[in-house]
């Protein structure tokens, strides 16, 4: 499993919090990986509302002649708190992609991660995802 650096995850958290403070809206970040293992954070163009974020997700993108594959789809849930929504359950069906949810509604930062295996969601522990150091 690909590990995401703690610094990268902290950047995502900061973006999510800033978007909520500035726009009172949830946010989304996609993480792509190239053949050499480099990671890139991408904030897709979205239509935002207070309770729902929609965007086009591309599984593979070409940048500077390199192919980058989607490995993680992360979004915020500040308004509703740290749990998966029915909308998440309906939309997060890409096999092999790591899905992450970030919330700080209860006064502390919470990350949840999971994968769709084709039949059900499998929870993924924080220490399986984040590379510390």
User: What is the C-alpha to C-alpha distance for residues 7 and 50, in angstroms, rounded to an integer?
Assistant: 27
Cα→Cα distances 48→19, 41, 60, 74, Å: 11, 19, 23, 15
Which of 25-34, 84-93, 94-103, 118-127 comes out lowest in average pLDDT?
84-93
Q: Compare 7 and 84 and report the one with higher pLDDT.
A: 7
Q: Which sequence spans correspond to the domains of the chain?
A: 4-131
Q: What is the pLDDT of residues 42-82, one digit of tens each?
A: 887 665 554 455 556 778 888 889 999 989 989 888 766 67
Phi–psi pair at 119, nearest 5 degrees: -130, -35
**Residue 33 DSSP SS3:** strand
In the CATH scheme, what is the code of domain 4-131? 3.40.140.10
What pLDDT, in 10s, does the model give residues 90-123? 777 777 788 888 988 767 888 999 998 888 899 9
């Amino acid at each position: 499993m690909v590990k995401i650096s703690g610094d990268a995850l902290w950047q995502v958290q900061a973006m999510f919090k800033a978007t909520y403070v500035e726009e009172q809206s949830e946010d989304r970040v996609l993480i792509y990986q190239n053949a050499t293992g480099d990671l890139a954070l991408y904030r897709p163009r979205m239509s935002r509302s207070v309770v729902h974020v929609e965007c086009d997700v591309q599984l593979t993108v070409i940048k500077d002649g390199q192919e980058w594959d989607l490995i993680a789809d992360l979004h915020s849930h500040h308004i509703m708190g740290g749990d998966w929504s029915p909308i998440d359950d309906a939309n997060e069906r890409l096999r092999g992609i790591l899905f992450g949810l970030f919330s700080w509604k209860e006064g502390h930062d919470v990350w949840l991660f999971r994968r769709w295996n084709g039949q059900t969601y499998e929870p993924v522990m924080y220490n399986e995802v984040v590379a510390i150091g």
